[in-house]
Structure formats: C-alpha cells, structure tokens
Structure 1
Amino acid sequence: MRKSVFLIVVIALSACNYYPSTTKAAATPNTIDITNTSMPPSSIPPTEMHLPPVIVDPNTMNHKLLMGYQGWFTCPGDGANTGWFHWFKDDIPDAAHFRVDMFPDASELTPEERCETGMKYPNGETAPLYSAYNPKTVMRHFQWMSDYEIDGIFLQRFVGELADPIYSNQRNIVLKNVRAAAEAHGRVFAIMYDISGMDSTTLIEEVEHDWKYLTNILKVTESPAYLRHDGKPVLAIWGLGFNGRPGTPGQAMELVNFFKNNDEQKYEVTLMGGVPTWWRELKNDSLTDPAWADYYCALDVISPWTVGRYSTDSEVDQYRSVMEADMKRVAECGAQYMPVVFPGTAFHNDSGSPFNSTPRRGGELYWRQVHNAVSIGVPMIYNAMFDEVDEGTAMYKIAATKNDQPAGVDLISMDTDGVKLPNDWYLRLAGAATKMLRGEIPNTERIPLNPDGSLVSTFPTVEPTPVQFKARIQITTTSDWTTLSMLSGGQLSGVEIISSNSEGDASFDDLTFT
C-alpha cells in the first residue's frame, strides 16, 4: 500500500561548500607532502580545445614572471639547414651522441612536427624530437604559456652566430615564429642579446647593426606583443661584465649610450642587463675593473645570473641577504631589480659534469627562490629557462618517468629525485609563482600546488557549522518510511512520524534532518 507521510522538519546541513563567516582560532593550514602523492595525468585539455587567451599587458614588466626562450633546436628536413642543432654531437642522432640532459615530452607532437631519431623508448618505439623552426611547435609552446598563465619570454639571440647567413636565417625564422605565437596567444616577448663567443673588436658594430635590422626590417617593436616598459621597447643584453665574456667597460657604456641616448628615438629602449651574480662587489663571476660598476648602474633593469650558484634551502636563504643588498643598490642607481630563479641545473651529457648536479627536489628549490624573491618585494622575476634542456633548467613539459625518455643515455625525468610528478609540473609551478608575484595567492614557503594541479589550502581548515532550516515535506513511498535516507548528503535523525494514512492526511510537529 502506498503511504503518504507529511512532515515538517528542521534540516541541519553540513554542506561541503558552505562556510560560515566565523573561523576557529585553533585551525591550522591544510598542506600536503608532494613526495607522498602518485602521478596523475595532466589536467590541461588537448591542444585543439583551448579557450581564447587572456591578453597580457605588454606595457610593463612589473608583476611579471618572464622566461628565457632559447628556440635553438633544429633537425634535418625542417628547412633550417642546420642539422640536429643543439640536440646531438657530431650530428649523429643516437643515444650515445645526445648532448642534452632532459628529454622534452613528445606526446603532443603531430606527424609533421616529429623529428625521427635513432633513439628508442624502453618499449622499443622511436623517441622523436622537435624543431623550433617549425611554427606549429612554437605556437604550442606559447599555447602552454597561455594555459598556465605565464606572461611571456625573452627570446635569446646569440649575436656571434648572426654573421653566418644560415644561422642568421634560422634565428630570424624562430623570431617570426615567436612573434606570431605571442600575438596569437596573448603573451609578450622581447629580445635578449647574448654576447657569448663574440669578437670583442666587432661587438658594438654587430649589436647595433642587428638592432637596426630588427627595428627597420623585421619591425619587431611594432608587434602588439612586444614588451615595453617605461614607455619604450625592452631590450636585454646578457653577458657583459662576466669573466670569460668579451667586452670592456668602455664598449658597454657605448652600447648604453646607443640604446638610451640615440638621436633616432626609434632605437631607444628600456635596457636590461643580465649581469654576474657578484656584480655589486666586482668579484667571483664578475670582472673586477671598477669601471664595470658604472655600466651596471647605467642599466634600467639589473638581473643577476644565479643558475647553479646554490642548491639547498639554506644556501637559497643565505643568498636572500645578497638579494636584499642588491635591491638596495639597484634603487640607488635608479633602476629596477629582476632576480633570476631556476628549477635546477645539470650539464652532464655535453660537458661531462656530474649527473643531476643541482637537483630540483620536486620543485622545492624553485619555489624557495620564488618565495624569497617575493618576500623582499621584487617587482619582476626572470625565470631560467622555458626550453633549456641542454643545461637542465627547462620549465616546459619534460618526460615524467624513465619510460617516457630514450634508453641508453643518462637523462633527468620528473621522478629522478624520487618524487612522482606530471610532465607539466614546472609549468604549473611557474603559473602559481606568477600569481604569487602578483599577490593573487598568498606568499607561502611551501609549494601551494598538489601534483594534480589543485591548490593546497593555505588558509585555516574550518569545520562547517550546521545550519538549520524548516521545511514541509510530503513523502510517498511503497516501503517502510523508516528506511528512507537523504540522497544529497546528511542523514535523517530524530524523525518522528506524527500520523499516516493512505489518504495522505497527517498532523505536523518539528522534526530534524542532519
């Protein structure tokens, strides 16, 4: 027999997403140890399913985390005519000649992007690589930047290579690829000259000539995605003042004058310098001529290079005092400070240095640097590097396990340090670092992300407070009413039937749901 039961109840809800305005004083932060978490798949949707990009403001460097982008990798048949540039020694594409220390994740490469090698995955399948000469690959890299909310890049431009028409063409095509991808995905880009390996006698002429070419012929500064700061295009020069690099203080100041006091305003820039770690004290990695101090102080943005300078948290914390002193000196110069952060570094396969020389520790090394930089109030951060697998500082998608990289060569995968992580872990960390720099999430000492991409709660965990509601409910059932239970959370408790009959008549009292 069908029974109709009429009830007035008080419903006490402990809803998962309902939080009252009061918090408990004794609550503690809810954190997670990433070393105890298994590796999930990437949470980012396939390449073809991305939302329209949010356009990054190209008019300021403030509150931006910007990555270095090498873009130097090529392969036979890509049109660059530079062979396996930066991938293999002696242009022999096998594991014995592989010269980089990390293997980029190749799972998203389309058939036209795959550069087939002689290397094999452990399952016997061919392990392919990519070429930055291919615009589709560079487009995907910038798509990742958009996906993970990374602001943009400094494209490395090695001036010493530009005298060779083949390599000059390769760098120009990559620049065009970068420009198109930045514009398509709402990211920013700027040029960073690297003067390593240049002839000091032609240094000034070559740098000035190339900037005129980029400005007048390629018109890079006219791109809506080209980064500007203080009303001018941004240009970085990396390497002046370092031990083992070309250039004199006089040449450096001549370049400063060209870029900051030019009669033709179109060549003027906001000048950033990638300078030695010990630029302020003129020691260790810095040349010691006192005249270098004038060059450093003439820059608009000062960015000391720190890759490989420390590896433990205590060393990172010790360097914090150096950053604080640097930042004070930068302010005295009337410039802005842009510290460098990096995930780890290794240069084993190309130089024979120890394997995994500066371990990433699952992102702890990277995050400690970002935390300290944000803690002292830096306005901007330079992140080494988006795609630098040569020296093991790459932030883009990397092989997650040994099964995802070629056999027969020592390579760092995401789990090398004993932490199971997804292939995009460092892109996720960079996105969180960007938010922390902007003040959008709290500045935490611990990594605020779970490996599945969700945020670790950095706020007090609060037990939900039950909230009572009165309701009039009619229940019609063919079974004993006492077997009923809530379907959407909670249980019936203290329910007392008042009256019931087949005609549906009933009387009412207050009952309680919890």
Structure 2
Amino acid sequence: MPEGRPSGGRRRPALGGAPLLALLLAGCGTRVPLPITNPLPPRGEIGLGPRVDPATMDRKLLLGYQGWFGCPDDGSPLRRWDHWFRRDGRAGASTVRVDLWPDVTELDADERCRTPLTLPDGRPAEVYSAYNPRTVDRHFRWMEEHGLAGVFLQRFAVGLADPRLRSFRNAVLANVAAGAESHGRVFALMYDVSGHPREGLVEHVEADWRFLVDSLRVTEHPQYLHHRGRPVLAIWGFGFVDRKVTPEDAATLVDFFRGNPEPRYRVTLVGGVPSRWRSRHRDSLPDRRWERVYRSFDVISPWTVGRFRDRASTDRFYGREVDRDLAEARAYGMEYLPVVFPGFSWHHLKDGAPFNQIPRRGGRFYWRQVQNAVGRGCTMLYGAMFDEVDEGTAFFKVATSPQEAPAEPPFVTLDADHEAVPSDWYLRLAGETQRVLRGAPLAAGDLPFASPARTDAR
C-alpha cells in the first residue's frame, strides 16, 4: 500500500478451514441513510463474541494487513530484509525504511529477527517476519483480545508473475487464513495495483484469482468475509494520478469480478479509489472515462490517508467531500466504506518527507475521524492499517518511547506528541470503534477513554 510451496524452511500449512485444508454495507448519510441490513444487537450483546460473523461487512471495522515483512533467515524463498530496510543497500541505520518500530516483547525467540541496529541500552533491535505462522497467529490473537473483526489482506499485483514473491505471499495468506480460523476473525483479499505496469495487469490478476478460487479455494474458508451473498474482494488503486492503469483495463477487471459467467469467480467488489473520485481532480485522474469505473463498484472506499492532518481539516474534509460522496454513492446504488487512520509518517521511506507528518495526538486525530464517519450513519469502516509501519499508520503494538526503539535513526514513538500511551493503545481505540459500530454509544469527547498522562508540563 506479495504458487507453490516455498522452498526451504518448514512445510507450510494449507489454508485454514476444512475445504482449504483439503488442498449491503449499510451506508452512511445524515438525511437518507441506506437500510441497515443487520438490526442493532441487544445492549448485552454489543461484543463480537468468540467468532465473528463472516456473512456481512456491516457493523465491522476491517483493518488493512500488509503482511509484507520478511527477514533473511525466516526460511522464505526471498531470503532478504523485506520492507524493514531498503533493498538497494545493506541493513543499517542509513537504509531503514520504516518510521514506527514494532513492539516485539511478546514474541518468542524463534519469532524475532535480529537487526544490525541497537536499542539505547545496547541490546540488539529486533523485528519479525510475516512468513512465520506463529507471529501472524499472534496478530490475530491481539485482534481477538481487543474485539476486532478482522482484516483485508493486501495482495500486490506487481510481482504476481514472480514465483518467489507469489510463494511468499501465498504463505502469508495461509498464515492469515489459519489465524482467522483459530481466533474467530474474518479476512478478505485486497488487490493493490500500485507499481504494476499497464502490460499484463488484467491477465495477472485474473489468473491469480482463478488460482486462489480453484486451487487454494480461499473463498470457501469458513471465515472468509462475504457481503450481499458473495465473497468480498477489494481492488485498490484505480484512477490515482500516479498509477498506470487505464480506464479500459479497470473496467475489464470490474466486469470479470462482478459479471463473470462463472459464478464461483463473482464477488462483492470494493473499490479503493482516490479521495477526489467524484470531482476527478487532485489525486484522481481527470479523464471522464473513470466516472464509469468509479460508479461500477458495489462498495466504494475513498483513500483519505494524508488528506487532512488535524481536527479542523478533518471536519472540513468530511463536510466538503464526504457528504457529497455519500449522496453520489446513494445515487448509483453503492455502499460507502470510509477510511480511518491513526496518523502518518514516511520520513525514512521518502527522502525529504517531514518527520511525524500527521501527528496522532494521543489518539484524538483518529477518534475525530470515527466521530465524523459514525456520526453520518456509517456502519462499516476500513482502518489503515494494522501493520503499516512504513508509512506510520499502524494500529498494532509499536514502541512507546525512544527507549524501546533503535537509537539511530529517529523513530516516531507513541509518546512523540508528549503523551504516554501503552503499545496497544490504538488496538484499544480500534476495539472501542468496533463496539460503537455494534451499538455502543459514540463518545463525544476527544477520546472514548480517560486521556493518557502527558510527558511534559504543557
């Protein structure tokens, strides 16, 4: 935002669930809300329970799951640092590409990857690999413990023709499927077309989906998410100014997934589109042919990461853009999936980018987005992202202070805005968001919990 069994390392498990082992989002709107497909639960049944219902997206916060992190000794066919450090240089302080550092204190020794970096106390700084099924299972345990519904697993179109990358990604998919089944969470796939050249995109994605459906039988998994009676699939990246997809290729893929003559390939299609999809400017290509593509999804999810940075700009964006988006979505029979995110920073990933570009403000920035979305009647949300430390949007457990991150280079820790919060703070906020979607009252204050203590005198 990664066929076959990987060579080396332990044997990979088949995707979880019996078949695999054998191998109307309710809309948002202040005036004319779409009908709610699931009634509000009784007050005593607000929690999700031990197993999340995979039959609907309604009343769920679904988090994006990158699952792209790898280590040289994780047993995968890649045998390299993936996403922790730049590929064009040796692992070290000058090649770091993440702005948040993961909290690995709960991970067992065989889940940790030792890096060349050191913590302030001299201990080696460690990370993890999504190729390790125990770590992915742990992530799903965190979701269960915090009452979260599940994830959209990212599947990048670029590299689908590379056997090693496909092997890695299929292994991560198996890990996610097993974690979802073990902990009663749901999952669905999201194709990301970022970085793929125009040539071959349609062929690669269509062939991959046939493989996933026919060989891995992913949509038969007991916890694979469905909506409107079909498996859910998302495609992210159509129409963005910096993507190479044409409207014709996009329309071909939409038709393949929504109108396929073979029923087993049909899905309820979610479109991750530019924030200005409706007006076709700024982050959206202006070509009018994109109108047909944008309006052809079952569920539309405009990408809002980086489009506002504080309370005032969040309120302004929702008032100017989202209200009109909701009217447009209703007019064309689409459901609406707003994106919410904790903060943003890609200082190490993008040369010259500001450090801590969009501050988290102790969770206040995130909670204001939830208030805006839920206050407009939205009953499902997309959280960006569970594990995105590259761009500093991660919900999962990360370093809370500089003492828990490498001494060099600088990292955005959870106390960066002078507020001390625990490493699972954003999982807690996500859990409260899920409770609200299930019918709990929406807290009107800056935070749904007591404000964390500040670490300075201000």
TM-score (norm 2): 0.86
User: Which residue is 2:301 aligned to?
Assistant: 303
User: Which residue is 1:112 aligned to?
Assistant: 110
1:418 Cα deviation (Å)? 0.4
C-alpha distance in 1, partners of 2:385/2:96? 20
| CA deviation profile, 1:141-164 (whole Å, cap 9, x unmatched) | 000001111110000000111111
Does the 8 Å contact 1:367/1:446 carry over to 2?
yes
Does the 8 Å contact 2:362/2:419 carry over to 1?
yes
1:245 Cα deviation (Å)? 0.6
| CA deviation profile, 1:110-156 (whole Å, cap 9, x unmatched) | 01111011111111111111000000000000000011111100000
Does the 8 Å contact 1:273/1:296 carry over to 2?
yes
C-alpha distance in 2, partners of 1:318/1:413? 28
Does the 8 Å contact 2:193/2:237 carry over to 1?
yes
C-alpha distance in 1, partners of 2:139/2:110? 16
C-alpha distance in 1, partners of 2:412/2:451? 18
Is the aligned partner of 1:63 residue 2:59? Answer: yes
> Counterpart of 1:128 in 2: which secondary structure?
strand
1:450 Cα deviation (Å)? 3.0
The one-letter code sitting in structure 1 at the alignment partner of 2:368 is: R
C-alpha distance in 1, partners of 2:338/2:251? 22
User: Which residue is 1:315 aligned to?
Assistant: 313
C-alpha distance in 2, partners of 1:443/1:250? 45
Does the 8 Å contact 2:401/2:414 carry over to 1?
yes
User: Which residue is 2:81 aligned to?
Assistant: 84
The one-letter code sitting in structure 1 at the alignment partner of 2:82 is: F
C-alpha distance in 1, partners of 2:268/2:49? 27
User: Which residue is 2:166 aligned to?
Assistant: 168
C-alpha distance in 1, partners of 2:251/2:120? 54
C-alpha distance in 1, partners of 2:437/2:324? 20
The one-letter code sitting in structure 2 at the alignment partner of 1:328 is: A
Q: What does 1:94-493 align with in structure 2 at a 5 Å threshold?
A: 94-321=92-319, 322-352=321-351, 353-450=353-450
> Counterpart of 1:119 in 2: which secondary structure?
strand
> Counterpart of 2:446 in 1: which secondary structure?
coil
| CA deviation profile, 1:455-503 (whole Å, cap 9, x unmatched) | xxxxxxxxxxxxxxxxxxxxxxxxxxxxxxxxxxxxxxxxxxxxxxxxx
C-alpha distance in 1, partners of 2:391/2:452? 27
Structure whose CA Rg is larger: 1
The one-letter code sitting in structure 1 at the alignment partner of 2:185 is: R
C-alpha distance in 2, partners of 1:243/1:410? 31
> Counterpart of 1:177 in 2: which secondary structure?
helix
C-alpha distance in 1, partners of 2:379/2:249? 29
1:443 Cα deviation (Å)? 4.1
> Counterpart of 1:118 in 2: which secondary structure?
strand
The one-letter code sitting in structure 1 at the alignment partner of 2:365 is: L
> Counterpart of 1:122 in 2: which secondary structure?
coil
> Counterpart of 1:273 in 2: which secondary structure?
strand
| CA deviation profile, 1:322-355 (whole Å, cap 9, x unmatched) | 1111111101110100010111101101212111
C-alpha distance in 2, partners of 1:198/1:280? 24
C-alpha distance in 1, partners of 2:425/2:76? 31
| CA deviation profile, 1:258-289 (whole Å, cap 9, x unmatched) | 11111110000000000000000011110111
C-alpha distance in 2, partners of 1:203/1:333? 27
Count of aligned pairs between the two proteins: 402
> Counterpart of 2:155 in 1: which secondary structure?
strand
> Counterpart of 1:299 in 2: which secondary structure?
coil
The one-letter code sitting in structure 1 at the alignment partner of 2:344 is: T
Q: CA RMSD in A?
A: 1.4
C-alpha distance in 1, partners of 2:354/2:435? 34
The one-letter code sitting in structure 2 at the alignment partner of 1:407 is: A
> Counterpart of 1:212 in 2: which secondary structure?
helix
Identity of aligned residues (%): 50
C-alpha distance in 2, partners of 1:342/1:136? 26
Gaps of at least 5 residues in structure 2 are: 1-47, 454-458
1:244 Cα deviation (Å)? 1.3
Does the 8 Å contact 1:421/1:451 carry over to 2?
no
Does the 8 Å contact 2:419/2:452 carry over to 1?
no
C-alpha distance in 2, partners of 1:362/1:179? 32
C-alpha distance in 2, partners of 1:229/1:451? 37
C-alpha distance in 2, partners of 1:349/1:255? 34
Does the 8 Å contact 1:277/1:285 carry over to 2?
yes
| CA deviation profile, 1:172-198 (whole Å, cap 9, x unmatched) | 000000000001001000000000111
The one-letter code sitting in structure 2 at the alignment partner of 1:230 is: R
C-alpha distance in 2, partners of 1:92/1:181? 32
Does the 8 Å contact 1:73/1:130 carry over to 2?
yes
Residues 293 and 445 from structure 1, CA distance in 2 versus in 1: closer, same or farther, beyond 3 angstroms?
Answer: farther
Q: What does 1:35-46 align with in structure 2 at a 5 Å threshold?
A: none
The one-letter code sitting in structure 1 at the alignment partner of 2:378 is: V
Does the 8 Å contact 2:77/2:167 carry over to 1?
no
1:220 Cα deviation (Å)? 0.6
Gaps of at least 5 residues in structure 1 are: 1-51, 454-514
> Counterpart of 1:189 in 2: which secondary structure?
strand
Residues 451 and 55 from structure 1, CA distance in 2 versus in 1: closer, same or farther, beyond 3 angstroms?
Answer: farther
Residues 108 and 97 from structure 1, CA distance in 2 versus in 1: closer, same or farther, beyond 3 angstroms?
Answer: same
TM-score (norm 1): 0.77
C-alpha distance in 2, partners of 1:355/1:399? 16
C-alpha distance in 1, partners of 2:308/2:442? 25
| CA deviation profile, 1:231-259 (whole Å, cap 9, x unmatched) | 00000000011111122212111111111
The one-letter code sitting in structure 2 at the alignment partner of 1:449 is: F
